[in-house]
């Protein structure tokens, strides 16, 4: 297969070929905005999370200091999330918007609940939350005067998805 004059990319040696996965999917096609409240997982949820965390692909995502796994519980089965979806969280009091998190697992059933399930999320530890007021101002400057940061919804607009990621220079 070797041909004279043809370069062969070697992961880790060549400039563009990377052996490790990136934080965000190559194309962010599904992004959701969700409001969160402080939630303390039960012992059963913590055990389920620990079991699933060992099977996750996050170990290839980079050094432990850069990426973290977090648990996200959903009580609504209709809210279908898929591996690779991007979530942006806003605090329940609409004060802070948190950096994007990527769904890193399929739905995990939570034992002893009838309809609750969870997902493991991959988050970057080095990104800080932004105040909602600052985010709205920056998004308005980028051509999105009404980004609807106070309601849970799927972000359909590709330009709004890009503008939201730009809040953290992603």
The model scores a pTM over 0.75: no
Q: What's the pLDDT at 39?
A: 64
Q: What's the pLDDT at 121?
A: 93
36 CB burial (10 A radius; 0-12, 13-18, 19+): middle
Mean pLDDT by 10 residues, the chain (170 residues): 54 44 80 83 74 58 68 80 94 93 90 84 92 96 93 93 94
Q: What's the pLDDT at 54?
A: 61
Q: Are 67 and 120 in contact (CB under 8 A)?
A: no
Q: Rounded distance, CA 144 to CA 160, Å?
A: 7
Q: Are 136 and 160 in contact (CB under 8 A)?
A: no
Q: What's the pLDDT at 5?
A: 57
Structure tokens at 120: 């493991």
Q: What's the pLDDT at 95?
A: 94
> Where in the chain are the domains?
31-166
């Amino acid at each position: 297969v070797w041909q004279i004059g043809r370069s062969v990319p070697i992961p880790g040696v060549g400039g563009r070929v990377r052996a490790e996965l990136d934080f965000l999917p190559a194309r962010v096609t599904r992004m959701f905005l969700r409001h969160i409240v402080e939630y303390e997982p039960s012992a059963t949820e913590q055990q389920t999370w620990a079991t699933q965390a060992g099977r996750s692909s996050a170990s290839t995502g980079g050094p432990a200091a850069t990426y973290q796994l977090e648990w996200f519980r959903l009580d609504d089965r209709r809210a279908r999330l898929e591996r690779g979806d991007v979530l942006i969280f806003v605090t329940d009091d609409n004060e802070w918007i948190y950096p994007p998190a990527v769904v890193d697992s399929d739905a995990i059933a939570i034992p002893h609940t009838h309809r609750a399930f969870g997902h493991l999320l991959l988050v970057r530890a080095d990104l800080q939350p932004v105040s909602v007021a600052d985010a709205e101002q920056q998004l308005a400057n980028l051509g999105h005067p009404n980004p609807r940061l106070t309601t849970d919804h799927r972000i359909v607009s590709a330009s709004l998805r890009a503008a939201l990621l730009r809040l953290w220079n992603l």
